[in-house]
């Protein structure tokens, strides 16, 4: 009986020892990697959106913790790649409110942006410095005012939808060679 207890103790000690030292050798690398891949400025920018609009989708309950887990978006409407937010797609969820003017500036890897088919009002947001932006869909909302002239400086813009809003003023000269879709009615 003592031999069986001793064998179990030795085996358990061996397993626990290997688990502790096996995991501890990778923990510092993993922990420091986790810290490096969390981009609080992206999260803070998204929280500005969450706090400035209301919706049928519970953004306050869903948008908690880091928005990205490697290539997976943890939050509703968020698309991620390499731990960065690359897409923000909040379509048809009855978003109501005005967007903060420069909330997107810290989401520098953003490629796709869609607030299509909501009730967002106020001026169109500032998109300057978003050089990765390819698609912008703001159609079917209640945006007002002119189309910001910095939209013509987006080097990778392929699609821009602004129709069915309350925009006014001149349409800037969208002559980017990358632009394949532009829809706007003033």
**16/100 Cα distance (integer angstroms):** 52
Higher pLDDT residue, 110 or 186?
110
Average pLDDT rounded to a whole number, residues 89-100: 95
Q: 22-31, 47-56, 68-77: which has the minimum mean pLDDT?
A: 22-31
pLDDT of residue 130 exceeding 70, the answer is yes
User: What CATH number matches the domain at 39-183, 2.115.10.20, 3.20.20.70, 3.80.10.10, 3.40.50.10860?
Assistant: 3.80.10.10
Domain locations in the chain as residue ranges: 1-37, 39-183
Q: 45-54, 63-72, 140-149: which has the minimum mean pLDDT?
A: 63-72
What's the confidence (pLDDT) of residue 119? 97
Other beta carbons within 10 Å of 69: 13
Element (H or E) spanning 136, and its range? strand 135-137
Cα–Cα nearest to 36, from 68, 63, 75? 68
Average pLDDT rounded to a whole number, residues 7-31: 43
From the number of C-beta atoms within 10 Å of its C-beta (0-12, 13-18, 19+), residue 26 rates as: exposed
pLDDT of residue 21 exceeding 70, the answer is no
Reported as a single tens digit per residue, the pLDDT across 133-180 is 999 999 999 999 999 999 999 999 999 999 999 999 999 998 888 999
For the chain, what is the mean pLDDT?
A: 84
What's the confidence (pLDDT) of residue 143? 98
pLDDT of residue 15 exceeding 80, the answer is no
What's the confidence (pLDDT) of residue 24? 37
What's the confidence (pLDDT) of residue 37? 60
């Amino acid at each position: 009986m003592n031999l069986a207890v001793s064998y179990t103790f030795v085996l358990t000690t061996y397993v626990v020892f290997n688990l502790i030292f096996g995991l501890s050798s990778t923990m510092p690398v993993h922990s420091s990697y986790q810290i490096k891949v969390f981009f609080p400025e992206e999260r803070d920018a998204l929280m500005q959106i969450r706090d400035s609009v209301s919706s049928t989708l519970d953004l306050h309950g869903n948008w908690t913790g880091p928005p990205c887990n490697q290539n997976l978006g943890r939050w509703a409407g968020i698309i991620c790649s390499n731990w960065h937010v690359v897409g923000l797609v909040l379509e048809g969820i009855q978003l109501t409110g005005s967007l903060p003017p420069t909330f997107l500036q810290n989401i520098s890897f953003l490629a796709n942006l869609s607030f299509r088919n909501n009730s967002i009002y106020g001026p169109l947001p500032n998109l300057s410095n978003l050089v990765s932006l390819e698609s912008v869909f703001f159609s079917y909302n209640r945006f007002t005012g002119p189309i910001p002239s910095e939209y013509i400086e987006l080097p990778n813009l392929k699609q821009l939808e602004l129709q069915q809003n309350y925009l006014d003023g001149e349409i800037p000269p969208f002559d980017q060679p990358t632009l394949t879709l532009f829809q706007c009615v003033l």
